[in-house]
Amino acid sequence: RAKAEGRGCWRFFEPDMDARMQRRRTLELDLRRALLTGGFELFYQPVIDLASRRISGLEALLRWQHPERGLVLPAAFMPLAEEIGLIVPIGEWVLARACADAAGWPGRLRVAVNLSPTQFAHRGLVDVIAAALDRSGLDPARLELEITEAVMLHDTGATLARLHRLKSLGVRIVMDDFGTGTSSLSYLRRFPFDKVKIDRSFTRELEQSRQSHAIVRAVTDMCSALSVVTTAEGVETEAQLQTLCEDGCGEAQGNLFSHPLPAAEIMGLLARQ
């Protein structure tokens, strides 16, 4: 069967390549099945507003409840889902689920949803987001869309037009993993971001590296001058939190406050705060 699937290039196959193709095929079938049978789940991680020390929103993080492998993290399946385009229907499910969940949360809490490059480039995106907002009744101002620099690499004209269409829905646009790409600053100038998430690699080095600390301080200063909110990712220690507060960072997210939690635990968490 593996031979038949590899028709046309079978002569290049090494036995281990064959096995790799087979694993990939299995993963693909498993993913398609999960989409049809409700195998995906959203976890949520709180984002803390540092001025009030209260939860200002939650980031939706995709999990796959695999029948044999248990809970699978995005790193293990997103690259393939992205490559075969399955991220588009998965992402549609994520948007609908996240908006519906957030509509049931108290107060004005925001929900952040990650968008991958393939999703962002897909023609149906704006309609999918409008439909998710419509069906859930969620105020668009409470939805944040997180995109990485990989989204902005191609065709900046079309990307800019699309970002403006999204903004005209009333949602907020967030640059995720800020500082890991090659031209973060030029993207910040060209695109209409409401928020910047400083990558976890900077937070992690905050105490050890004067360079990282200086960059974090400069980014928070610059963003506050541009009226862009800053969120530090991956905050794990009190010392990091202290430094981020001193540097004027707006929000923090990380295991110090809470790991990502199943949706069912979120109402309890919110009630306790």
149 binds ligand C2E (CB under 6 A): no
144 binds Mg ion (CB under 5 A): no
- What beta strand segments (E) does the chain contain? 40-49, 54-66, 70-72, 110-114, 143-147, 172-178, 195-198, 229-232, 251-252, 261-262
Task: State which of residues 30, 176, 247, 251 lies at the interface with Mg ion (CB under 5 A).
Answer: 176
Pick 17 or 255: Cβ nearer ligand C2E: 255
Q: Is 220 helix (H, G, I), strand (E, B) or coil?
A: helix
Cβ neighbours of residue 153 closer than 8 Å, sequence gap 6 or more:
117
What number of H helices and E strands is found in the chain? Answer: 13, 10
CA dihedral 32, 35, 40, 42 (to 10 degrees): 130
Q: Distance between CA 246 and CA 243 in Å, rounded?
A: 5
Pick 89 or 248: Cβ nearer ligand C2E: 89
User: x/- binding map, residues 254-273, to ligand C2E, per CB under 6 A?
Assistant: xx----x-------------
Q: Distance between CA 189 and CA 183 in Å, rounded?
A: 10
User: x/- binding map, residues 60-99, to ligand C2E, per CB under 6 A?
Assistant: xxx----------xxx--x------------x--x-----
User: Segment contacting ligand C2E (CB under 6 A): 7-15, 56-64, 133-141, 182-190?
Assistant: 56-64
User: x/- binding map, residues 12-51, to Mg ion, per CB under 5 A?
Assistant: ----------------------------------------
Q: Is 235 helix (H, G, I), strand (E, B) or coil?
A: coil
Pick 113 or 266: Cβ nearer Mg ion: 113
Task: Report the interface residues with Mg ion, using CB under 5 A.
Answer: 114, 146, 176-177, 233
Task: Report the interface residues with ligand C2E, using CB under 6 A.
Answer: 45, 60-62, 73-75, 78, 91, 94, 114-116, 119, 146, 176-177, 233-236, 254-255, 260
